[in-house]
Chains A and B, each alone.
Chain A
Amino acid sequence: MNIKPYGVAVTDAIASGDLSRLKEAEAAAQAHLDQYGDVATLLPLLRLEIAKLEAKKSY
């Protein structure tokens, strides 16, 4: 992306990638768990994958 130093920030940009999507899924699963108590086995798996990515320097 072309980010000109005198320009305004690119305000319609969103971050993408597996880490963002895992976090979205984790947040949604947590919300459903809080409400329904039905995704308990899913959360540790999501968190494991997030931890693996976050352990890398460039994520």
Chain B
Amino acid sequence: MTDTLPSETAPAGARATPEGKSVRFRTERDYAELTPVHVVWEVTLACNLKCQHCGSRAGRPRPDELNTAEALELIDHLAALGTRELTLIGGEAYLRRDWIELIRRSRAHGIRTAVQTGARNLTDKRLDEAADAGLQGIGVSIDGLPDLHDRVRGVPGSYDQAISALQRAKARGLAVSVNTQIGAETAAHLPELMERIIAAGATHWQIQLTVAMGNAVDNPDLLLQPYQLLEVMPLLARLYREGQKRGLLMIVGNNVGYFGPYERMWRGLGDEADHWNGCAAGQGGIGIEADGTIKGCPSLATSLYAAGNVREMSIADIWRHSEKMAFGRVRDVEELYDYCRTCYYADVCRAGCTWTSESLLGKRGNNPYCHHRVLDLARHGWRERVTKVKDAPAASFAIGEFALVREAIPGAQTQPLPVRDPAGVHIAHRERTAAGGALPPRLKVCRSCDQYVWPHETECPHCAADLAEVERQHAQAAEHRRALIQQARRVLDGIGPA
């Protein structure tokens, strides 16, 4: 790195998050000041698994990974920028010799620190050292029951090692979570997998779709077809509810979307104000590659989104001034195309996850992995599938190209989709701060159909309800519920132990 630690420090109170919220939750101040709240750092590309869907094609370390001094200094700079959470990934993070030093430095800054791992050879010694250094959580990647997981991860026995790691991390007091990628074969495994990870002690379960990047382009049969969301999303919703009753909170990743019937339930974990509001790359977080390359999100294609390298520029300058970091701050609906361009949610959604759509179609702005879209197409008898037309280069985070095919649902009667005028798309006013940040649009919920609608609407565009009237009824019912909850608390407090 070429600069010294910036003289300014994080604004007083920048780390504060509302009571009951995760440190990763972005406050209005975070939006306004462009705080990189959550950083995901590939500390090494070395890996001991051979995952068929690995976007970064991990295996050998990069030839010029940051040395210990550079890495520790980078953590200091992230802290100064206001980062509150750091996820160390790889490759396999613990194959880097100094990973314990990185954890210790991050924790010394008060940054919530966790490791995402495949857990092969995550020994007791490694876990003990990490826990002693202050590691707060581990997320273990498990992509199905043993046969599927071991096949996808490329190493027999890796499922058993993953479950063992969960149990042993739990015993050491770490927060224990699981990440599961949803591919073409995964759905049938999910109910039983949920049972097993609950038994192993997991409390949080991050769900995300396998993306057409790197090794996944070489193995396209692993990819979920967009139309399969018709079955996968209701299954996930059922598991969300069941898991919640049993102490397992499902977290839907940024590429599980968007604005379908379950958005209100799961995106904000009960806080309906926290709905999907577009790709957060370069706005709420940073992705770091092991050689110091900086991107707005760890998953984005290096060839398109490498915004700079901390050996050449300060991370503060890259964060604030690089065009490739700032693309999400300045884009608008004009860059959207196909279905997404005229979608009702176009200006709040911005075609969902950039990584997913751009890796798939070679251009961001159109995303077939959208529940709202899949349902709309199905109502008219249509579905979409993807088929590979171009391989990906051998490089890390490389993309190929897929064609998007729209076809009739077998046995269904088709109708043309309604023609929507691009000029009729609602555009939300965003006031940019001097830092370049802006508050995202806030939608409201139709209390009749529970779908999100723009705040100016008086009649629900989805179910035609009188929005003011159903809101009045909802407020009455909510007041009744709250009074009942208060009554319960009073009664129970009154008869509790003295």
Instruction: Indicate with 1 or 0, residue by residue over B109-140, a CB within 8 angstroms of chain A CB atoms.
Output: 00010111000000000000000000011110
Secondary structure of the A side of the interface?
loop
For residue A25, which residues in chain B have a CB less than 8 angstroms away from its CB?
484-485, 488-489, 492
For residue B20, which residues in chain A have a CB less than 8 angstroms away from its CB?
14, 16
Q: How far, in angstroms, from A38 to B182 measured CA to CA in the complex?
A: 47
For residue B38, which residues in chain A have a CB less than 8 angstroms away from its CB?
2, 4, 7
Is the pair A14, B269 in contact by a Cβ cutoff of 8 Å?
Answer: yes
Is the pair A5, B492 in contact by a Cβ cutoff of 8 Å?
Answer: no
Partner pick for B481 among A10, A18, A38, A58, CB 8 A cutoff:
A18
Shortest Cβ distance from A58 into B: residue: B450
Shortest Cβ distance from B40 into A: residue: A7
Q: How far, in angstroms, from A57 to B249 measured CA to CA in the complex?
A: 18
Instruction: Indicate with 1 or 0, residue by residue over B218-257, a CB within 8 angstroms of chain A CB atoms.
Output: 0000000000000000000100010011000101111100
Interface residues of A in 15-59 (CB under 8 A from B): 15-23, 25-26, 28-29, 32, 36, 38-39, 42, 45-46, 49, 52, 54, 56-59
Partner pick for B89 among A6, A18, A54, A59, CB 8 A cutoff:
A6
Bin chain A's interface residue count.
35 or more
Is the pair A32, B22 in contact by a Cβ cutoff of 8 Å?
Answer: no
For residue A56, which residues in chain B have a CB less than 8 angstroms away from its CB?
450
Shortest Cβ distance from B452 into A: residue: A58
Shortest Cβ distance from A13 into B: residue: B22
For residue B487, which residues in chain A have a CB less than 8 angstroms away from its CB?
42
For residue A32, which residues in chain B have a CB less than 8 angstroms away from its CB?
492, 495-496
Is the pair B485, A21 in contact by a Cβ cutoff of 8 Å?
Answer: yes
For residue A39, which residues in chain B have a CB less than 8 angstroms away from its CB?
488, 491-492, 495
For residue A59, which residues in chain B have a CB less than 8 angstroms away from its CB?
265, 450
A32 to chain B, nearest CB (A): 5
Q: How far, in angstroms, from A56 to B255 measured CA to CA in the complex?
A: 25
Is the pair B484, A8 in contact by a Cβ cutoff of 8 Å?
Answer: no
Instruction: Indicate with 1 or 0, residue by residue over B195-238, a CB within 8 angstroms of chain A CB atoms.
Output: 00000000111101001000000000000000000000000010
Q: How far, in angstroms, from A15 to B204 measured CA to CA in the complex?
A: 11
Is the pair B26, A2 in contact by a Cβ cutoff of 8 Å?
Answer: yes
Q: How far, in angstroms, from A27 to B270 measured CA to CA in the complex?
A: 19
For residue B280, which residues in chain A have a CB less than 8 angstroms away from its CB?
2
**B365 is an interface residue with CB less than 8 A from chain A:** no
Q: A13-B249, A15-B249, A59-B265 are in contact. Are A5 and B208 (CB under 8 A)?
A: yes
For residue B285, which residues in chain A have a CB less than 8 angstroms away from its CB?
2, 4
Is the pair B481, A9 in contact by a Cβ cutoff of 8 Å?
Answer: no
Instruction: Indicate with 1 or 0, residue by residue over B423-448, a CB within 8 angstroms of chain A CB atoms.
Output: 00000000000000000000000000
Is the pair B251, A46 in contact by a Cβ cutoff of 8 Å?
Answer: no
Is the pair B116, A29 in contact by a Cβ cutoff of 8 Å?
Answer: no
Is the pair B203, A11 in contact by a Cβ cutoff of 8 Å?
Answer: yes
Is the pair A3, B252 in contact by a Cβ cutoff of 8 Å?
Answer: yes
B301 to chain A, nearest CB (A): 13
Q: How far, in angstroms, from A20 to B161 measured CA to CA in the complex?
A: 34
For residue B87, which residues in chain A have a CB less than 8 angstroms away from its CB?
4, 6-8
Is the pair A58, B253 in contact by a Cβ cutoff of 8 Å?
Answer: no
B21 to chain A, nearest CB (A): 8
Partner pick for B254 among A3, A12, A16, A17, CB 8 A cutoff:
A3
Partner pick for A45 among B25, B176, B484, CB 8 A cutoff:
B484
**B299 is an interface residue with CB less than 8 A from chain A:** yes
For residue A36, which residues in chain B have a CB less than 8 angstroms away from its CB?
495
Q: How far, in angstroms, from A38 to B488 measured CA to CA in the complex?
A: 11
Is the pair B265, A10 in contact by a Cβ cutoff of 8 Å?
Answer: no
Shortest Cβ distance from B284 into A: residue: A2
Is the pair A9, B205 in contact by a Cβ cutoff of 8 Å?
Answer: yes
Shortest Cβ distance from B180 into A: residue: A9
B219 to chain A, nearest CB (A): 17
Is the pair B491, A12 in contact by a Cβ cutoff of 8 Å?
Answer: no
Of A2, A9, A21, A32, most B-chain CB atoms within 10 Å = A9
Is the pair B22, A1 in contact by a Cβ cutoff of 8 Å?
Answer: yes
Is the pair A6, B204 in contact by a Cβ cutoff of 8 Å?
Answer: no
Is the pair A6, B287 in contact by a Cβ cutoff of 8 Å?
Answer: yes
For residue B179, which residues in chain A have a CB less than 8 angstroms away from its CB?
8-9
Supply 15 A–B pairs (Cβ within 8 Å), ascending by A: A4-B87, A4-B253, A4-B298, A5-B254, A6-B87, A7-B139, A9-B178, A9-B179, A9-B205, A16-B270, A17-B271, A21-B485, A22-B484, A25-B484, A49-B481
4 residue pairs, one from A and one from B, having the closest CB atoms: A17-B270, A8-B139, A9-B177, A11-B175
- Interface residues of chain A, those whose CB is within 8 Å of chain B, are 1-23, 25-26, 28-29, 32, 36, 38-39, 42, 45-46, 49, 52, 54, 56-59
Extra A-B contacts (15), CB below 8 Å, given A3-B254, A7-B298, A26-B488? A1-B269, A1-B274, A6-B40, A6-B299, A7-B139, A7-B206, A9-B204, A10-B24, A13-B269, A14-B20, A15-B244, A15-B270, A16-B270, A17-B271, A21-B485
